[in-house]
Chain A
Amino acid sequence: MSTILETRGLTHVYGAGTPFERVALDHVDLKIEKGEILGVIGHTGSGKSTLIQHLNGLLQPSEGEVLLDGKSIWDAKGKCSRETRFRVGLVFQYPEYQLFEETIAKDIAYGPTNMKLPQDEIDERVRESMAAVGLAPELADQSPFALSGGQKRRVAIAGVIAMRPDVLVLDEPTAGLDPAGRDEIFELVRSYHKQSGATILIVSHSMEDIAQVADRLLVMNHAKVLFCDTPREVFSHADEIIAAGLDIPMITKVMLELKKRGHDVDTSVYTVAQAMDALRACKRKEAAHEC
């Protein structure tokens, strides 16, 4: 796999030179592979949101650089091209509060219109992205403000998907949703990933949720990268994760407790299906031992 986005020594300081100075990112080196789903987890204030706003050039690094396809997104004049914004689509937290147009279709068309695409292409993309987020086509001419919270969020996500970004970044897409709404959003992400093959970053503070969809996990703590690896590898460091103020999946906790009680089980599992396999393996081992 090839790297699509890369950060090198990325550092960001908020309010430099004021009493409120705070280092939000501290020399972060990160490689994001093409086509993967990367889960970004961290405690509030660990620098996740700051990190993702650097990926499409909304924030300028205090130090270090961000490379898209091996090229820095900031040119020599200190400007970031709009092309970057279209290639790295960023969906903010509570994106439903950014809707502004009279109709859903017009709101979704805002991004593609800014890309200066021809009208028929825009219409095509609006239709396509509404389908991708599971909005019925007949909603197109309704006001987005008449929708429910969860549906509004889908409209906002569709607005970014319509730009067909190579990298889709979602900041806490499930914040404030009920469990059903949360599952729907994750399902949507999964099917969009399968369909488009885009690289996806999901920010969350729930390990439980993110472990289900992500190929790799990036764990942030105190403005630094704590781990960046497969969920299995990450959860095998359960102690450090808990020390960073994050939770580990319930099923991993069960396995850890079993291990503490003297059973030789694999503690890096994070789904129920994996736990079943691990338990069977353990049972077999213990049975063989008794003979």
Chain B
Amino acid sequence: MLKDITLGQFFPGNSAVHRLDPRVKIVLTVAFIVLLFLAQGPVSYALIIAFLAVVIGISRISPKMVLRGLKPILFIVIFTAVLNLFYTPGTYIFQWHFLHISVEGIKLAIFMVLRLMLLIIATSMLTYTTSPIQLTDGLERLLSPLKKLHAPVHELSMMMSIALRFIPTLIEETEKIISAQKARGADFDSGNLIQRAKAMIPILVPLFISAFRRADELATAMECRLYRGDVGRTRMRQLKIARVDVCALLWVAVLFAVVIILKHFGL
């Protein structure tokens, strides 16, 4: 049930995509998102989709899993498509009362849907192939210039690692508590809204208590290992830019250039 959520999950592996430096992966993902919004014509989109397909292929993550990650945003996608379809002015080809469909609307709807789906697929490829620790490590290093401005970069990234680390734990915990209360006859699926909200109490109270308990224990464990923040802390895994990283950067740069040129010609 809860375990079916694949968005933000990490699938361990040893492909070239997995081995990329997390900093490079983050930068490339951001670049890819910019690219999505730059691209206008069908040729550019075809190129972008092909590129993403190659990345998925290299990563050896089953396309089925990637598409499953889209499920949670299906509603938003449909909603956007419908809005764009019916409310874009232009050459109308269908009209009924206040509803009208224009050629421009159809085009826009298709592009918006593609854009949203590609956006989610690209960002989930980042989390699918990067472990939470690597991800926050990369983010911390990328943001480290902000430390000069006294921004608590290390603290924030530590908070993020801990939060990411505990998501699966808390999901597991929640499932256990739900099962336990179901075993005592809890009913979450019937009754009106208030009754349903009330039925959540036997889950939320134990969940909060256990979250606080875990936080306490973690704090103690960290203090026992003399954690005192960023100052003087060394790393076990040093991030290094390797040949794969340079290759990946070059590929995306080429794609970027091509899309910009295509945009110039309106393709």
**B-binding residues in A (CB < 8 A):** 15, 17-19, 53, 56, 58, 82, 85-86, 89-92, 95, 97-100, 110-111, 114-115, 145, 159-160, 163
Interface residues of B in 156-191 (CB under 8 A from A): 176-177, 179-187
Instruction: Check B185 against A97 for contact (C-beta < 8 Å).
Output: no
Q: Report the minimum CB–CB distance from A150 to chain B (whole Å).
A: 17
Question: A97–B182 contact, CB under 8 A?
Answer: no
Contact A56 B183 (CB under 8 A): yes
A15 adjacent to B3 (CB under 8 Å): yes
Distance, CA A233 to CA B179, complexed state (A): 35
Which 4 residue pairs spanning A and B have beta carbons closest together? A114-B185, A100-B205, A111-B184, A90-B183
Q: How many A-B Cβ pairs are below 8 Å?
A: 58
Question: CB of B152 within 8 A of chain A?
Answer: no
Whole-angstrom CA separation of A145 from B64 in the bound complex: 45
* A145 neighbours in B (Cβ, 8 Å): 209
Q: Are A114 and B184 in contact (CB under 8 A)?
A: yes
The answer on a CB contact under 8 Å between A100 and B206 is: yes
Asked whether B202 lies within 8 Å of A110 as measured between CB atoms, the reply is: yes
Residues 19-40 of B contacting A (Cβ, < 8 Å): none
User: Are A115 and B11 touching (Cβ within 8 A)?
Assistant: no
Distance in angstroms between the alpha carbons of A257 and B223 in the assembled complex: 48
Contact B202 A89 (CB under 8 A): no
In the complex, B210 has a CB within 8 A of chain A = yes
Q: Given the known A-B contacts A53-B179, A95-B180, are A114 and B206 also in contact in the complex, defined by CB atoms under 8 Å?
A: no
Which B residues contact A (CB, under 8 angstroms)?
Answer: 3, 11, 62, 64-65, 176-177, 179-187, 201-202, 205-206, 209-210
A92 touches B202 (CB 8 A): no
Known A-B contacts A85-B183, A111-B185; A17 and B202 likewise in contact (beta carbons under 8 Å) = no
Q: Among A53, A82, A110, A114, find the residue whose CB has the most chain B CB atoms closer than 10 A.
A: A114
Tell me the minimal C-beta distance from B145 to chain A in angstroms: 37
Q: B11 to A100, Cβ gap below 8 A?
A: no
- 4 additional A-B residue pairs with CB within 8 Å, beyond A56-B183, A58-B182, A145-B209: A89-B183, A110-B181, A160-B184, A163-B185
Residue contact B206 to A99, C-beta cutoff 8 Å: yes
Please tell me which one of the listed residues B64, B182, B201 contacts residue A100 in the complex, with CB atoms under 8 A apart: B201
Shortest beta-carbon distance, B210 to chain A, in Å?
6
CB nearest to B11 among chain A residues: A19
In Å, the complex CA distance between A17 and B64 comes to 9
What residues of chain B lie closer than 8 Å to A111, measured between beta carbons?
Answer: 184-185
Q: Check A97/B206 contact, CB under 8 A, given A56-B183, A114-B187.
A: yes
